[in-house]
Chains A and B, each alone.
Chain A
Amino acid sequence: MSKLLIHMAKNKFTICVAWMILVIPILAIATTSDVIYSPIIFILLVFYLRKERNYIFLASAVYGFFVFFPPYLHFIRWISFFIAGEIPLRECLEKIYSLLKVRSMTYFNPPSAIFAVLATPSIYLINLRNKFNESKWMKLEH
């Protein structure tokens, strides 16, 4: 944790920009493909970032996946075949991986990729600010 990061996390404008970076792709997904699940994902992220958390990199990876692959429900169809017993698990995972690869190579969307990458530092900064705020509250209480 460097001095620059602390200075950025204490600045309110930086945190506003970080929240904008998290909101804009959600709005873009809602206007293009997914209306139902993208707001739910955003609300879940907001409640996860309410206080200091430990697994922010996992959360940012999940959020990046949802941002980078908006029709993520397409990946579930192979799981239904696996549950029906038509294909083994290995083949199911291979199909999902090949679908992911094809989607990321043919329908590569640079803006969504940029936002998916920028989600990690913005979530980190928000978490850092929450940490400082919590310590401030602790000082006020004791």
Chain B
Amino acid sequence: MKETYLLIYTRYKFPMFLVYTLISTFGIFVQYIKNIAKEMSFLCFNNQIKLTPLSNDALSWIY
């Protein structure tokens, strides 16, 4: 048990660090981009309108 722990800690320290940092930075990057896209979507003019069969009047199409 102790030998395997020491082997893992000595030999696979850097690969563990690399895998962990790669996956977590990828996740943080994608979540950041998603957040930015969510905030940018407020600039989209037609984003707030949801067309339903009942909202068929002219104004809802113009906005």
Contacts and interface: CB of A to CB of B under 8 A. Distances in A.
Contacts of A46: 19
Contacts of B31: 31-32, 35
Given A35-B31, A47-B8, A30 B19 contact: no
Contact of B26 (A30, A36, A40): A30
Interface residues of B, number: 12
Main secondary structure of the interface of A (DSSP, over half): helix
A36 B19 contact: no
A70 to B, nearest CB: 11
Interface string B1-40: 0000000100010001001100110111011000000000
Contacts of B24: 30, 35-36, 39
Contacts, number: 36
Contacts of A30: 23-24, 26-27, 30
Interface residues of A, number: 16
Nearest to B22: A39
Interface string A34-60: 111011101100110000000000000
B34 to A, nearest CB: 8
B59 to A, nearest CB: 36
Contacts of A83: none
A27 interface: yes
Nearest to A38: B23
A67 interface: no
A128 interface: no
Contacts of A47: 8, 12
21 contacts: A27-B26, A30-B23, A30-B24, A30-B26, A31-B26, A31-B27, A31-B30, A32-B31, A35-B24, A35-B27, A36-B24, A38-B27, A39-B19, A39-B20, A39-B23, A40-B20, A42-B19, A42-B23, A43-B16, A43-B19, A47-B12
Interface of A: 26-27, 29-32, 34-36, 38-40, 42-43, 46-47
